[in-house]
Amino acid sequence: MATVTSSINYTAPLDLYKVEKPFYSNVPAPDGRQSNQVAWKYDAIEFHDIRADVSRFTLDENGFEIFRFGEESEEGVDKFDSDSWIEQSYYPVVESLLKARLGDVVVKVFDHTVRRRKTASDLLQIAGKYIRATRQPSFSAHCGFPFVQDQTLLSGENRIKFHMGPAAADLLKRRCRIINVWRPLFGPLEDCPLTYCDWRTVDIARDYKPADLIFPHYIGEQYLVTQHPDHRWHFLSGQRTNEFTLLKCWDNRTDVARSA
């Protein structure tokens, strides 16, 4: 398995977090602070290319996997600037993909983010336009899912209750999963490939740090990640548009990978 060496930002192990919980506020704070989160850049991190061993990695074992679906296509890339087009035309594709992979399941797509690699000059030209569609790739380690109320099993249940309404009670009697579906809009992708850490090398109590996400209508919570030498990072070189990365965010089964 080929490897490359690069850097990644982890949450800093500050003494501050022993007395003050990390937070990020989307509303004005009385003291003017928007966040107390600090990240440190860690160099010489090895990233392992799974191109030659794709079939070895699965959602339940590693927390991630690659699933090929449909044909390669870059048609309609500009349409991803439109939230309404994504919701009306692309959500059904994701639903079909997940049913093809997981079988006879109920699928609900509830959110999306489009990230585009932009230079400083690009950002100046588009300032104030397509804010969501021009978000930059993230270079910080994170759990991948903003938990609605807390980082326990209840958090995933709350997300399901929020989106599924009265049907949630019956659904939660069965297996439920929250899965992030990611793919490049063009390929083969060479710049800023998605990287993911093997669930088997992560210790939640040791490595995950809960942080508040403050919104006008609720206070949510997500996991930040602190560095540990046991972490094993992976990526897929030359990822194509029909190669979808599935990332586990939450699972109500306790004998499988819970996240990536």
What digits encode the pLDDT tens for the residues 57-72? 999 999 999 999 999 9
In a domain, 258, yes or no: no
**What pLDDT does residue 130 have?**
42
CB atoms within 10 A of CB 175: 12
152: left (phi over 0), alpha (psi -120 to 50) or beta: beta
Structural domain that includes position 128: 3-251
Low-confidence winner among 21-35, 38-52, 185-199 (lowest mean pLDDT)? 21-35
Distance of alpha carbon 45 from alpha carbon 210, whole angstroms: 23
Residue 135 has pLDDT above 90, yes or no: no
What does the pLDDT read at residue 133?
39
What pTM did the predictor assign?
0.87
Token pair of 227 as six digits: 């560095």
Q: Is residue 257 part of a domain?
A: no
In a domain? residue 259 = no
Q: How far apart, in whole angstroms, are the C-alpha atoms of residue 160 and residue 3? A: 38
pLDDT of residue 119: 56
> What pLDDT, on a 0 to 100 scale, did the predictor assign at position 197?
96
260 occurs within a structural domain:
no
* Mean pLDDT comparison of 65-74, 91-100, 116-125, highest-scoring range: 91-100
Q: Please check whether residue 233 is in contact with residue 10, taking contact to mean a CB–CB distance below 8 angstroms.
A: no
On whether residue 148 sits in a domain, the answer given is: yes
- Determine, yes or no, domain membership for 86: yes
116 vs 22 pLDDT, higher one: 22
Please count the residues of the chain: 260
Q: Is residue 256 part of a domain?
A: no
Provide the domain count of the chain: 1
3-state secondary structure of 71: coil
Q: Which two tokens stand for residue 107?
A: 């699928």
Q: Are 254 and 199 in contact (CB under 8 A)?
A: no
Decide if pLDDT at 240 tops 90. yes
Reduced to 3 states, what is the DSSP secondary structure of residue 260?
coil
Structure token digits, residue 89: 């035309």
Question: Mean pLDDT highest for which of 43-57, 200-214, 219-233?
Answer: 43-57
- Write down the pLDDT at residue 118: 66
Question: CA geometry: angle at 176 spanning 199 and 142, to 5°?
Answer: 35
Most confident of 89-103, 104-118, 136-150: 89-103
The closest of 237, 235, 255 to 247, measured between CA atoms, is 235
Q: Which is more confidently placed, 123 or 45? A: 45
Query: Does residue 177 lie in a domain region?
Result: yes
